[in-house]
Amino acid sequence: MFRLAAEYTLFVFVAGAGVLQATAAHSGLWGLCFFRRRWQGYLFAMASIAAAFAWFFLSYDRNRPGLEGMEQVLLFSLASAGAVAFTLTVSSVLKRKEKATPRGHGLEALREASYWQAWRHGWGDGDAPR
């Protein structure tokens, strides 16, 4: 049962990171993107989502009793939060040397700056991020 829980968590994490990259590329939130070009973000998203689904559903017979509902909710929530934290961290590290000053607040700031740049800018003004 532990193996299934770990595999499910990894599946959701990888697929979630791919979905976040597709969404960031589609929305023009360049501060969240791992890549500079939109098509690269889409390619990464398709590859990670397809690989996660193929590995999880085709590598092992999962047609038997598995995780209970509350276990799935907990693991899905943890893996999704992990994918968000991973995306914020990796995109910020990749863009750490780029100089960017966000012109907006909230998600709008991520059109031009990474999460950490936007966060520092929001707190550096003496204002809390909005």
Distance separating alpha carbons of residues 108 and 96, to the nearest angstrom: 19
The answer to the question of residue 115 being in a domain is no
The answer to the question of residue 44 being in a domain is yes
Name the DSSP letter for residue 120. Answer: H
**Which amino acid is it at 38?**
R
Q: What is the pLDDT of residues 47-92, one digit of tens each?
A: 999 999 999 988 877 767 778 889 999 999 999 999 999 999 999 8
Domain hosting 70: range is 2-94
With 0-12 / 13-18 / 19 or more C-beta atoms within 10 angstroms meaning exposed / middle / buried, residue 41 is: buried
Token readout for 98 is 């780029």
Angle, helix 69-94 to helix 2-27, in steps of 10 degrees: 50
Q: What is the pLDDT of residues 21-43, one digit of tens each?
A: 999 999 988 888 999 899 999 99
How many whole angstroms from its chain centre is CA 119? 17
The answer to the question of residue 77 being in a domain is yes
The answer to the question of residue 42 being in a domain is yes
The answer to the question of residue 49 being in a domain is yes
The answer to the question of residue 81 being in a domain is yes
The answer to the question of residue 109 being in a domain is no
User: Structural domain tally of the chain?
Assistant: 1
The answer to the question of residue 56 being in a domain is yes
Nearest to 41 by CA among 28, 53, 50, 54: 28
Q: What is the pLDDT of residues 88-121, one digit of tens each?
A: 999 989 978 777 666 777 767 777 777 877 777 7
pTM of the model: 0.82
